[in-house]
């Protein structure tokens, strides 16, 4: 006959089947509600971990009437039972999926509630400001004096400043999570594969003197100051009748479209370098771009950076590695990374968080316009409400059910 273990104590137990046969010997941990991860009664069974034994134990649990948890169900239950907010729930998945130490530390900051606390502080300030505005609306005869006495403009500016600081920290955290997608493009034989090998510090791409050697995209990931950088080497862009090479060029076009940044290589040993080659025609004007003038070793030149009005050029040698460090630093600079040891003060923000922060900023900007005229207080109050609603959606105070389903469906099984 089984018994319930003592709450929150590790109990050495024998796990038996319906016939009383011992399946395994392990640890049983019982966490009664509300003092558990989900806020509900939770029983953990820790066996020896072999697949056969664990399957026997799992099947015995299923025969007793329990079911397998859906993806993210434990964390979803914790959120629904107010054990954690939505930002903390998402940070659980971010910790599991973190590819770098910095990303894991940043996600832990969010799990500990640092991001949520900053958002809640802003929501509280907006609530107070809305209360003052709406009180002014209730007493219109004192309207102008109240606006000046209550320092509405100053309060609004202070909120806007704090929001900008949070947005900057969130952008940095998003870089740690999402990384940077970079595509290497250029004419055949300009050194794209050599540059990829230098950046990843390994011979991952075949390098020959024959144009068109790279027929397909090659992707590798490196880490620069804790940020994952996904680099794609592509087929050289040129007119060709080779069907295989044409397919590779099609994939090059798709890679350019999806990249955060493009590194376009030019052969500087050609005098003058062909900076208006076919590759330049396929790069959208708004796409961040670095032009690399490769093969300076053939000209006995030193590496250097040229910062033009609308262009950035780096002279380097993908063969010898001279100037590669200049390129690495410029990649981080263009991506907007500000080095922060250990991710201190950063938040592991997802794209939905950044979009919500942008919406909050837009409504605050609108609100500032309506402080110029006392007859626009109703519009001011509405913009403040919309800004507050956008911020509250981050922590899950106002979140649609379909968004919850989308968020938790990407969790690993159970957790």
Compute CA 337 distance to the chain's CA centroid, rounded to the nearest angstrom: 13
Residue 392 inside a domain? The answer is yes
Residue 4 inside a domain? The answer is no
Q: What is the DSSP letter of 410?
A: T
Residue 322 sits in the same domain as residue 364 = no
Residue 194 sits in the same domain as residue 263 = yes
Residue 164 sits in the same domain as residue 232 = no
Q: Where are the beta strands (DSSP E) in 140-226?
A: 180-186, 218-224
Residue 78 sits in the same domain as residue 205 = no
Q: Of 165, 61, 52, nearest to 114 (Cα)?
A: 165
CA dist., res. 240 & res. 248, Å (int): 11
Specify the pTM.
0.71
The residues, ordered by sequence, that sit 6+ positions from 320 with a Cβ below 8 Å of its Cβ are: 297
Residue 403 inside a domain? The answer is yes
154-170 burial by CB neighbour count: b if 16+ within 10 A, else e?
Answer: ebbeebbeebeebbebb
Residue 394 inside a domain? The answer is yes
Residue 224 sits in the same domain as residue 309 = yes
Q: Of 347, 302, 296, nearest to 319 (Cα)?
A: 296
> Domain span at residue 269?
179-337
The CATH number for 300's domain is: 3.40.50.300
Mean pLDDT of successive 10-residue segments in the chain (415 residues)?
84 89 92 94 88 89 89 90 91 86 87 92 90 71 54 88 92 86 86 88 54 60 88 69 61 80 89 67 82 92 86 91 93 80 68 94 91 76 92 79 63 65
Residue 134 inside a domain? The answer is yes
Strand bridging mode 304-307 / 312-315: antiparallel
Residue 139 sits in the same domain as residue 199 = no
Q: Which two tokens stand for residue 363?
A: 């409504």
Residue 57 sits in the same domain as residue 74 = no
70-103 burial by CB neighbour count: b if 16+ within 10 A, else e?
Answer: ebbbbbbbbbeeebbbbbbbbbbbbbeebebebb
Residue 413 inside a domain? The answer is yes
Q: Please tell me the predicted confidence (pLDDT) of residue 315.
A: 95
Single out the residue in 337, 371, 388 at which a domain terminates.
Answer: 337
Residue 64 sits in the same domain as residue 184 = no
368-402 burial by CB neighbour count: b if 16+ within 10 A, else e?
Answer: eebbeeeeebeebbbbbbbbbbbbbbbbbeebeee
The CATH number for 32's domain is: 3.30.1360.120
SS3 for 83? Answer: coil
The CATH number for 78's domain is: 1.20.120.430
Residue 343 inside a domain? The answer is no
Find out whether 245 and 352 touch, Cβ atoms under 8 Å.
no
Residue 239 sits in the same domain as residue 273 = yes
Residue 358 sits in the same domain as residue 302 = no
Q: Which two tokens stand for residue 31?
A: 């966490």
Residue 332 inside a domain? The answer is yes
Residue 101 sits in the same domain as residue 229 = no
Residue 151 sits in the same domain as residue 202 = no
CA dist., res. 79 & res. 210, Å (int): 58
Q: Please tell me the predicted confidence (pLDDT) of residue 247.
A: 66
- Reply yes or no: is the peptide bond before residue 104 cis, omega within 30 of 0: no
Domain count, the chain: 3
């Amino acid at each position: 006959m089984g018994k319930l273990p003592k709450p929150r104590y590790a109990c050495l137990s024998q796990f038996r089947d319906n016939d009383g046969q011992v399946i395994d010997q392990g640890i049983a941990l019982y966490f009664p509600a509300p003092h558990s991860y989900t806020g509900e009664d939770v029983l953990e069974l820790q066996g020896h971990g072999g697949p056969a034994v664990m399957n026997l134990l799992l099947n015995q649990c299923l025969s007793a009437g329990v079911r397998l948890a859906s993806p993210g169900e434990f964390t979803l239950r914790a959120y629904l039972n107010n054990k954690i907010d939505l930002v903390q729930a998402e940070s659980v998945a971010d910790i599991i999926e973190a590819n770098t130490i910095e990303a894991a530390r940043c996600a832990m900051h969010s799990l500990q509630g640092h991001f949520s606390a900053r958002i809640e502080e802003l929501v509280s300030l907006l609530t107070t400001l809305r209360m003052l505005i709406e009180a002014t609306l209730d007493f219109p005869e004192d309207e102008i004096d109240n606006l000046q006495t209550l320092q509405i403009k100053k309060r609004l500016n202070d909120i806007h400043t704090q929001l900008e600081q949070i947005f900057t920290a969130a952008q940095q955290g998003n870089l740690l999570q999402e990384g940077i997608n970079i595509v290497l493009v250029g004419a055949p034989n300009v050194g794209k594969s050599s540059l990829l090998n230098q950046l990843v510090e390994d011979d991952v791409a075949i390098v020959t003197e024959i144009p068109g050697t790279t027929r397909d995209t090659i992707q590798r990931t490196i880490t620069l100051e804790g940020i994952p950088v996904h680099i794609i080497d592509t087929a050289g862009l040129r007119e060709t009748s080779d069907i295989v090479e044409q397919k590779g060029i099609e994939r090059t076009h798709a890679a350019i479209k999806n990249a955060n940044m493009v590194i376009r290589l030019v052969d500087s040993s050609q005098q003058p370098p062909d900076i208006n080659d076919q590759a330049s025609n396929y790069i959208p004007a708004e796409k961040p771009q670095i032009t690399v003038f490769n093969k300076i070793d053939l000209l006995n030149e030193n590496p250097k950076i040229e910062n033009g009005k609308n262009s950035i050029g780096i002279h380097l040698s993908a063969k010898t590695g001279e100037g590669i460090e200049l390129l690495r630093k410029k990649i981080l600079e263009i991506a907007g990374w500000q080095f922060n040891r250990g991710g201190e003060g950063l938040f592991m923000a997802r794209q939905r968080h950044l979009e919500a922060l942008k919406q909050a900023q837009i409504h605050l900007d609108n609100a500032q316009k309506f402080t110029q005229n006392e007859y626009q207080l109703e519009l001011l109050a509405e913009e403040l409400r919309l800004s507050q609603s956008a911020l509250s959606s981050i922590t899950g105070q106002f979140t649609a059910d379909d968004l919850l389903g989308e968020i938790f469906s990407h969790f690993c099984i159970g957790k």
